[in-house]
Structure 1
Amino acid sequence: MAGRSISLSELKAQADRLYWLETRPQEGGRTTLVSMKRGETPEDLLPSTVGVGTRVHEYGGGAYDVSSCQRVVFSDRKSGAVQLRENDGTLVSLASSTDCAYADFSFDATGTGVFCVREDHRSGGEPRAAIVWLDRERECVLVEGDDFYAAPRPAPGNGHLAWISWNHPDMPWDATQLTVAPLTWEDFRPRTGASRILAGEASRCSSVDPVWESADTLLVSLDTPGAWHPCRFTVTGEAGPEFLPDPEGETGFPHWVFGQSSLRVLPDGRILAQIVRDGLSHTALLAGRHWQICPQIETAQAPVLFGDALAWITAAPDAPPAVVIGKNSRIIRQAFDFPEGITSEDCAHPEPFAYPSTGGAIAHALYYAPVNRHRTLGPTEKPPLVVMAHGGPTGRASSAFSFKVQWWTSRGFAVLDVNYRGSTGFGRRYREALNGEWGVTDVEDCVAGVHHAVAHGLADPARCVIRGSSAGGLTVLMALATSDVFAAGCSLYGVTDLRALAEETHKFESRYLDRLIGPYPEQEALYLERSPLTHVARITAPLLFLHGDLDKVVPLDQAKAMHHALQELGRASALHVYEGESHGFRQEQTLRDSFTRELAFYQQVFGQNQV
């Protein structure tokens, strides 16, 4: 399926057109912009030589926007240049600077210029952040001074500008400031007046996903109640936030990438929200004083209004992602087709899984039983178990269709996708439970999940393996070093040396470890203790390392050092490097090879153990 699947993201609507991004492994992982006019078929809007993307914060997102008159602004992934696509298809360069990267675009009300976040690499050292305004002739710096900015959103009518900012050592889910400033315009150029902090000045809190409800009211998800909940600010008054009715879950997403949307305002004033309950995402509509779940809408981002119907990208566990419209979910574009003989009946469904962990804590996971209509386990056989540790570590296991889940369940494996303490979707207290405990609490929750699954007859205790990418790779390695429940493990571009990570990683995460581990270098001894590289001698289970040679988030040297140390001890360790891949795999051949290589690795381990 690797060469036949595309990924769909960042759905937008303007007038009679839908827009979305498609990432295509068969085109070397290029991301292009696709549009569909009502009543017509989808079409690519950009030449095949152009890839949409941005390297701001390395993880990108928010690399395009569409104006009310259907002009498109986007960032070119390779060059970082910002371009404007006119309605006739002409591409025009906006006044962006070289050695800078841009993201999180929002057109002004006239559609002639855009507000965005700029990351300036011209001076060396850490790049400097600012909110700027671009048109064909000028680049105007509007806001600067903080370490990070996100979500510059002009109010309807261009009367105000709202944005989010934060500073080292905080991450955006630790503490941000939500700020608004009046806008004035001279010679078609915006200027910001005296700004006012709406949230985050008097107390530490996190604001995410701001969206204007009107020219004077702003909606945002704010976590002062203990979890991200939607609230309303009136920017022309002094009153504090007015929280909307309790969604009985968490709205908002951790700001790893730009362009996320958990709240949407409909023309009639009703509000849509994405709500996470028990690890599962739901779309809900606020009607009166109650949130009503929309069961027919399975998506991970808030739907958009397209004419008199809603449109969204589906995120069902048993169907390909697709751009759909309306109550009947009419498919406009589908990420792939199932192979012949495969249907939704062959797909595993997630079961929310809460279980006891260390210290009296309750941890969470999604459990998938193996599913294959053509082959079954023996009558008394328990399935082998793949435990997955998500990245971040401030992230969440998603219930949407995933090849990395279905690949295993269709081959007779059960999957336990762990939302260890530190994951989002369960409130601030759960999220902060990993502070100072990375490499300990997450590992304990993965191990406890195995014990719970085995105790309930859901897995074969002799055939449990663990895999994880990025931060999840560290969890994999520490789990193998501190427990004996896993027969093998796979680290995909995972962290092995925390000291090197603290010294080498990019600006966005350069102080992330201050919360997860402690200040560096003051607590260097603790960094050594939590680094898998320190505990090589304790790892006896076979290990597979998969890494890209262009990874700037977790450099390849991290995997090489761990692999070579294991080899020197005579341990079973394999390392495979993928050329042209960075942090996360995009290319068709890489996707094909990495899955088949990992499966063969586990099969060899199980065969050697005569299981």
Structure 2
Amino acid sequence: MTTVTTAPYGTWPSPVGAALAASHDGRPEYLGAVGEDIWWTAPRPAEGGRRTLVRRSPDGAEESVLPPPWNVRSGFTEYGGCPWAGVQGADGRPLVVFVHFPDQRLYGWEPDEPGAVPRPLTPVSGTGGGLRWADPVILADRGEVWCVLEEFTGPAPTDVRRTIAAVPLDGSAADDRTAVRELTGDGHRFSTGPRLSPDGSRVAWIVWDHPRMPWDGTELLTGSVTDDGRIEDVRVVAGGPEESVCQAEWAPDGALLYLSDAAGWWEPYTLRPGEESPRALCPGRGEEFGSALWKPGMRWLAPLDDGLIAVVHGKGTAVLGILDPASGDVVDAAGPWTEWAPDLVVRGERVTGVASGPDRGYEIVELDTRTGHTRVTGAAHRDPVDPAYYPRPEVRTFTGADGREIHAIVHPPHHPGYTGPDGERPPYVVRAHGGPTGRYYLAFDLEVAYFTSRGIGVAEVNYGGSTGYGRAYRNRLRGNWGAADVADCAAVARALADEGAADPARIAVSGGSAGGWTAAASLTRPEEFPYACGTIVYPVLDPLAWADGGTHDLESRYTDSLIGPVDEVPERYRERSPLHRADRITAPFLLLQGLDDAICPPEQSEALLERIAGRGVPHAYLTFEGEGHGFRRAETMVTALEAELSLYARTFGFERPDVPALELTP
């Protein structure tokens, strides 16, 4: 019988250490089938944060096939995209093409050739960010790999053009930019990679232009592929300024399948050969079958040979289902997984994806559509500690001041051997996700367990603007960034305090990237909720700087929709900016910043510190060499997590001898 000890919240001992949490950061990504094998990229936090390629054969053997220093990761638009592709050659041996992160060149590699090493396929450019590649498709019969190219034309982050291009597989373009064939020109600012029809005669891709973001409005284009490998007869088949198409694929019979939010939710449509009007395959379900197209190569939909379609769908979560396009019925896969990533691969009657649940990390799962049987086939979850220490998440819907819904995942403090004293309410951390067009997932997260197992609750807020709840919910942030997100987080904090779940004097706010903006903005608005402290991670702090070339190209016009065109509402930018409201910050805070961050550069964090200098606000500023937007190195994540816990211990009034004391300077 387990003895339960009573001890103050925040002081409980836990086997979930920062190093353990860091070692489980990241997930398998970018699945692909090469012959009978399944390949994917996998994180290696202990190896400088690189990503390797993993290969799983039908007999279950799983191996990391690229040793250090190879790093399979694209820098496309700074966020990346699918960085590899593979095919089985006529001799049965695989050919793999991948992007190596340090130089962003495409490399070709025959892994089963004895002594073979990756060989460069593309040149290096010394202009700006150089040449970057993503979303490749190998056309072995043409001797080319087709992908989307991002080419910098000058030193500024917005001096960039994008086009679909064909790269020779023979290496003739390795030192010759002119050997790269451009297929679509640069008439659009942004593009995904190409999707070829089964017979190779048609191609589809998605484009959009400033100031729209891809979840605001995109266009789906199709064209004919000529015998000599050119694209002609290009036309728009779906999308527009207020319609977002996030994925397109070809069915085995030549029909075009795509995901569009024309009806308010991302739903599947089909356009058959010779037809002019698309057909919605399962309209009106009030669910998302897609999400924000942050990176090219995401796959929420995959057609099977028998006409059925594998789909990732849900409201606030994402599960795997099989859609019958004739009836519109969707049958979900059985199993404990509550979140399926947009990473579907189909081989015959089998669908393979990446899935997680509250008590299991992301793993490779295969569904046999004939039997309905699911099984783990790769990257299998293994409990690093007793599952009794895992959080017990609660999916909640809170109510805002105007009656609006606010979605959140609440993780109360939980420990199998400890409980808090009678009458003591636990401390909580209210977390704001990045994006801001994104969401929190009902998935295994040891970083959450790091806090909950020590007696600190975590509330992850999917504030207005988050994905997963339809376009109207997503559009709530339009013109309201720094207001609606702050108010929604505050409403959750107040509700937890009012219902007695949290100590109102011991609630912190935290977030990274756009979540860092929300955390910082929340500290400047104590009238919304008086947070005790905050953790601000690689934040956006000055949207005026963003609108004036202070960030990368993808998000350089993002504030047009989030706040408003800067020339029309300049005062709104200053009113919302945490940098320009820094004089209102009185709560202690921790600021964490990667020094190589091109999206939220360290200059903004440094400007905030200048604004609070001499004002007596306790704070700590930790910077990390070699880290960009999103920490990837194990040692960085350990330092950041322990510093955050130390901030809460100091602010909330309990001792944590298991972490270094964080020094706060006024």
| DSSP-derived class of the 1:508 partner | coil
Q: Which amino acid aligns with 2:317?
A: L
Q: 2:231 aligns with which of 188, 192, 214?
A: 192
Question: Matched residues in 2 for 1:347 and 1:293: separation?
Answer: 26
Task: Quote the residue 1:486 is aligned against.
Answer: 531
Q: Residue 285 of structure 1: SS of its match in structure 2?
A: strand
What corresponds to 1:595 in structure 2? 641
- Does residue 92 of structure 1 match 2:133? no
C-alpha change, 1:122 and 1:302, in structure 2 (3 Å) is closer
Confirm or deny: 8 A CA contact 1:396 1:423 kept in the other structure. Answer: yes
Aligned partners of 1:334, 1:132: CA distance in 2, in Å? 37
Segment drifting more, 38-47 vs 73-82:
38-47
| 1:540-579 equivalences in 2 (<5 Å) | 540-579=586-625
Per-residue deviation, 1:608: 8.3
Determine the structure 2 residue equivalent to 1:140.
181
d(CA) in 2 for partners of 1:392, 1:19: 28
Q: Which amino acid aligns with 1:101?
A: R
Q: Is the 8 A contact 1:152 1:163 kept in 2?
A: yes
**1:79 alignment counterpart:** 103
Query: Share of identical aligned residues, percent?
Result: 33
Structure 1 residue 377: deviation in Å? 1.8
Residue 547 (structure 2) pairs with residue 502 (structure 1): yes
State the 1:228 CA deviation. 0.6
How many angstroms does 1:213 deviate by?
A: 1.1
Tell me the amino acid that sits aligned with residue 24 of structure 1: R
What is the match of residue 60 of structure 1?
80
Answer yes or no: is 1:317 the counterpart of 2:358. yes
Matched, 1:150 2:195: no
Which of residues 96, 100, 110 is equivalent to 2:141? 110
| Contact 1:180–1:235 (Cα < 8 Å) also in 2 | no
| Displacement after TM superposition at 1:307 (Å) | 6.3
> Which residue among 101, 108, 122 is the counterpart of 2:132?
101
Q: Which amino acid aligns with 1:61?
A: G
Aligned to 1:467: 510
Counterpart amino acid of 1:179?
A: L
User: How many Å separate the matches in 1 of 2:376 and 2:601?
Assistant: 43
Partners of 2:463 and 2:391 in 1: how far apart?
Answer: 21
- Whether the aligned pair in 2 keeps the contact of 1:151 and 1:210 (CA below 8 Å) is no
- Label 1:234 to 1:511 Cα distance change in 2 as closer, same or farther (>3 A): same
Following superposition, the deviation at residue 129 of structure 1 comes to: 0.8
Query: Which residue of 398, 414, 419 maps to 1:355?
Result: 398
Question: Bigger shift: 280-289 or 529-538?
Answer: 280-289
Which residues of 2 match residues 500-539 of structure 1 at below 5 A? Answer: 500-503=545-548, 504-539=550-585
Structure 1 residue aligned with 2:61: 41
How far apart are 1:328 and its partner, in Å? 5.3
Aligned length: 601
Counterparts of 1:419 and 1:386, CA distance in 2: 14
Partner SS, residue 647 of structure 2 = helix
**Structure 2: 5+ residue runs without aligned partners?**
1-19, 173-178, 368-372, 656-666
The 1-side partners of 2:323 and 2:446 are apart by 33
* Residue 488 to residue 76, structure 1, CA distance change in 2 (3 Å): same
Q: Which runs of 5+ in 1 are unaligned?
A: none
| Correspondence for 2:29 | 9
Spell out the pairing of 1:150-169 with structure 2 (5 A cutoff).
150-169=192-211
Matches within 5 A, 1:153-552: 153-186=195-228, 190-201=229-240, 204-214=242-252, 216-277=254-315, 279-287=316-324, 288-296=327-335, 298=337, 299-305=340-346, 309-325=350-366, 327=373, 329-334=375-380, 337-339=382-384, 342-483=385-526, 484-503=529-548, 504-552=550-598
Alpha carbons 1:283, 1:297 under 8 Å: kept: no
Higher mean C-alpha deviation, range 397-406 or range 464-473: 397-406
> Which residue identity is paired with 1:22?
A
Q: CA deviation at 1:284?
A: 1.5
Aligned-pair CA distance for 1:455: 2.4
One-letter amino acid of the structure 1 residue matched with residue 164 of structure 2: I
Output the CA distance in 1 between the equivalents of 2:242 and 2:160. 25
How far apart, in 2, do the equivalents of 1:371 and 1:182 lie?
58
- From the superposition, tell whether residues 264 and 328 of structure 1 become closer, same or farther in structure 2 (CA, over 3 Å): closer
Question: Are 2:427 and 2:652, in contact at CA under 8 Å, matched by a contact in 1?
Answer: no
Structure 2 SS opposite 1:320:
strand
- Counterpart of 2:97 in structure 1: which amino acid? V
User: 1:292–1:248: structure 2 CA closer, same or farther, 3 Å change rule?
Assistant: farther
CA distance in 1, matches of 2:554, 2:182: 21
SS at match of 1:329: strand
Q: Report the alpha carbon displacement of residue 247 of structure 1 after superposing the two structures with TM.
A: 4.2
Deviation at 1:529?
A: 1.0
Q: Deviations over 1:217-268 (max 9, x none)?
A: 1111100111111111225432234443444411112011222111111222
Task: Please tell me whether the aligned partners of residues 465 and 487 of structure 1 are also in contact (alpha carbons under 8 angstroms).
Answer: yes
Q: Are the aligned partners of 1:283 and 1:302 in contact in 2 as well (CA < 8 Å)?
A: no
Q: TM-score, normalised by structure 1?
A: 0.94
Superposition CA RMSD, Å: 2.1
1:527-575 Cα offsets, whole Å, 9 max, x none, are 1111101111211111110111111101111112212322321111111
Q: Cα offset for 1:11?
A: 1.7
Corresponding residue SS for 2:395: strand
CA contact (8 A) 1:3 1:25 kept: yes
Cα distance in 2 for partners of 1:195, 1:243 equals 25
Letter in 2 for 1:574: A
Deviation at 1:409, TM superposition (A): 1.4
Q: Looking at both structures, which has the greater relative contact order when contacts are Cα pairs under 8 Å and sequence separation is at least 6? A: 2
Equivalents in 2 of 1:297, 1:230: separation in Å? 25
- 2:541 counterpart SS class: coil
Structure 1 residue identity aligned to 2:218? T
Separation in structure 1 between the aligned mates of residue 141 and residue 358 of structure 2, nearest angstrom:
41
- Pick closer, same or farther for the CA change 1:235–1:452 going to 2, 3 Å: farther
Q: Is the 8 A contact 1:14 1:306 kept in 2?
A: no
More off after superposition, 43-52 vs 322-331? 322-331
Contact in 2 for aligned 1:544/1:575 (Cα 8 Å)? yes
Q: TM-score w.r.t. structure 2 length?
A: 0.86
Letter in structure 2 aligned against 1:401:
F
